[in-house]
Amino acid sequence: MNATSALNDAQWSKLLEHVAEAYNEVTLSRGFNYFKQQHVTSVTMTEDRIVKARVEGNESYEVTISLDKPRSSHCTCPVHASCKHMAAVLMELADRMGYPASHIMNAKHQLKRAAAAPALGALQQQLPAMDVPEWHKKMGEFTATIKPAYDQGMYTDMLRVQLQMLKEIPFSETDKRFWALHQELFILKKVKEQNALGSVNYYTSFALYRIYDDIQASLRAAISSAFNPALAEERLTQTLAYLREQLAGETGQRYLEFGLYTELWTHWIAPYADTARWAEQELDAIRHMEVAPFSASLSAAESFLLMQLGKGKMAWQTLEAAGALKHAQLSVFLPFLSHLQSAGLWEDLTFWLVKTASCFYGKRTHELDAYTTYWKDVTAHYPPAEQEMWIVLEEMLPHSLRIIEDILYEREQWKPWLEMQIVQGRTPLHHRVSVLQPIEKESPLLLLPYYHQAVEQHVGLKNRQDYKAAVKLLKRLEKIYKKMKKPEAWNRFFQAFAERYSRLRALQEELKKGKLLP
């Protein structure tokens, strides 16, 4: 396919007209899935603008499309014309030539949008003077022709493509940031509405969580120096009001809206604004909301705001009194712990770590690792927390076993660390050589019981493989004795060892192979 064969805008419009007339929505939707799943292969174009392609599905079909005479196009499938295979090829062709494939799928709407271009220009000029609620109203009107799809990921893509048409808006740099955020919040709300209808399957519903992740990532992204906090106050107020409504409407214990709320606070308000004033205003607004039924996310937000005011213990009591802790996801606690850490409120952080400990009981997770990191930091800054940490970790056993080992190792507390290895029946072969190297360098004497116990353990199993492991350990042990400058002690031990197991012929053979015996 060469450059001279590329579609121009006029030809593209003609192609959209043909698609809108010849294809129905179900066929286009199925074709879009084939396109996304990369079922279209071997696309070529002749000089007379005939496109040939293969589409792999349950079977393989050959598609021939004439760009100049699209009605003469055909497919080898039973439908023959205007089928999902041809639709997929048209989308692949559009994508390769720089046109949005989603426009093929939504051809009728794209033609209507092109006809309404003057109205689009007027809307783009009006948006800067509108407030956030009006933004959402206009986005709803602008995407009204986008019909929900069974595939939420596809529905999200169509909404995004449509909203990207609103790109020539004379926004300030500050408003550009808020507009981008609210586009994603609008899409999120639309997808949530579809999710609530139960019209999506288990797998496509993950699109919802991807949107939450994308919004959180955008909130964490560095704010441009052109972003003016003083000019952002009105937009921030409107945005917080919008998020409060979403918090109030969230049911269950997912705390997804709470995650967005705390990210906005942490990255858009706390670094630039009078946090105490904003927190007081928000608390007042939340307490005057009429919410039914109970919203766990809204209670968590109230607790988070108390935390911003330095009332860490009251924040915990608010969560506890509201019953918001029952079945709470671990991630809900991380914004609280992160705030206390960054504010250097070590006593309050210790209090929260103790109180939330039972929520982290269970198998090791990303959240549990983060929880452990907070303990390490608080003990480094607030010595009284040391005893509390060990009490908590002991109560977490056996799930905290690995965590305890890591802390002991990081602190170079070699003796208790090695004792834990012995108690668990491990051998030095359980670790990479680099793990034991610092101990061998600093305290080689501590390694002797570990190696001796492991040698006896392998020999006691009385099989060839364990004999080989024992010999490998003995060779390392010999090096440790030499490093300690105690070759006589090694000789005494090994002589007694070889004599004690002289009747184990296989072991003797392995010792000779390892050049420990002549």
Q: How far apart are CA 187 and CA 179, in angstroms?
A: 12
Calpha distance 58→39 (Å, rounded):
10
List the domain boundaries for the chain: 3-106, 415-513
Residue 233: CB atoms within 10 Å: 13
Query: What is the distance between the alpha carbons of residues 43 and 39, in angstroms, rounded to a whole number?
Result: 11
Categorize the per-residue pLDDT at 363 as very low, low, confident or very high, splitting at 50, 70 and 90. Answer: low
pLDDT score, position 252: 67
51 phi, psi to nearest 5 deg: -95, 130
Q: How much is the average pLDDT of 439-462?
A: 93
Mean pLDDT, residues 385-413: 92
Q: Cβ contacts of residue 424 below 8 Å, gap of 6+?
A: 401
pLDDT number for residue 321: 82
Tens-digit pLDDT profile for residues 226-278 = 666 667 888 999 999 999 999 988 876 678 899 999 999 998 888 877 889 99
Q: In what order do the strands lie in the sheet with 60-66?
A: 40-45, 50-56, 60-66, 74-75
Give the three-class secondary structure for 348.
helix
Summarize the confidence of residues 189-198 as an average pLDDT.
Answer: 81
Q: Which residue has tokens 């079977």?
A: 59
Q: Is residue 374 over pLDDT 90? A: yes
Stretch 472-481: mean pLDDT: 94
**pLDDT score for 25:** 87
427 pLDDT more than 50: yes
Report the pLDDT value the prediction gives residue 472, as an integer from 0 to 100. 95
In this prediction, residue 361 carries a pLDDT of 81
Nearest to 311 by CA among 352, 258, 267: 352
pLDDT at residue number 419:
93
277-293 average pLDDT score: 86
What does the pLDDT read at residue 4? 42
Residue of 504, 420, 401 whose CA lies nearest to 456: 504
156 pLDDT tier (thresholds 50, 70, 90): confident
More confident call, 325 vs 276: 276
pLDDT at 2: 46
The model's pLDDT over 30-76, given as tens digits with 9 standing for 90+, comes to: 999 999 989 998 888 888 889 999 999 888 999 999 888 888 899 99
Higher pLDDT, 273 or 497: 497
* pLDDT band at residue 115 using 50, 70 and 90 as cut-offs: low
Residue 192, pLDDT score: 87
| CB 359 within 8 Å of CB 330 | yes
CA 423, CA 440: separation in Å to the nearest integer? 20
Q: What is the pLDDT of residue 231?
A: 72
- Choose the weakest-confidence range: 46-50, 103-107, 205-209, 281-285: 205-209
Task: Map 183-231 to HEC letters.
Answer: HHHHHHHHHHHHHHCCCCCCCCCHHHHHHHHHHHHHHHCCCCCCCCCCC
384: tokens are 């009284």
* Mean pLDDT for the stretch of residues 199-210: 65
Cα(392)–Cα(353) distance, integer angstroms? 9
**pTM, entire model:** 0.67
Mean pLDDT of the chain: 87
Contacts of 144 by beta carbon, 8 Å cutoff, 6+ apart: none
pLDDT at site 418? 94
In DSSP terms, 60 is beta-bridged to 56
Contacts of residue 266, Cβ cutoff 8 Å, sequence gap at least 6: 335, 338, 339
Residue 118 has pLDDT above 70, yes or no: no
- 326: pLDDT strictly greater than 80: no
Binned at pLDDT 50, 70 and 90, residue 3 comes out as very low
The number of angstroms, rounded, from the C-alpha of 376 to the middle of its chain's C-alpha atoms is: 24
pLDDT for residue 331 is more than 50: yes
| pLDDT for residue 98 is more than 70 | yes
pLDDT at 222 over 80: no
Say whether pLDDT at 88 is over 80: yes
DSSP for residue 58:
S
**Beta carbons of 363 and 330 less than 8 angstroms apart:** no
pLDDT tops 70 at residue 204: no
Q: Which residue has the tokens 């103790």?
A: 354
In the chain, what percentage of residues exceed pLDDT 90?
A: 52
Q: Alpha carbon 233 to chain centroid distance?
A: 30
Q: Are strands 40-45 and 74-75 parallel, antiparallel or unpaired?
A: unpaired
Give the span between the Cα atoms of 449 and 383, in whole angstroms. 32
The yes-or-no verdict on residue 369 having pLDDT over 50 is: yes
The per-residue pLDDT for 340 is: 93
| Per-residue pLDDT at 46 | 86
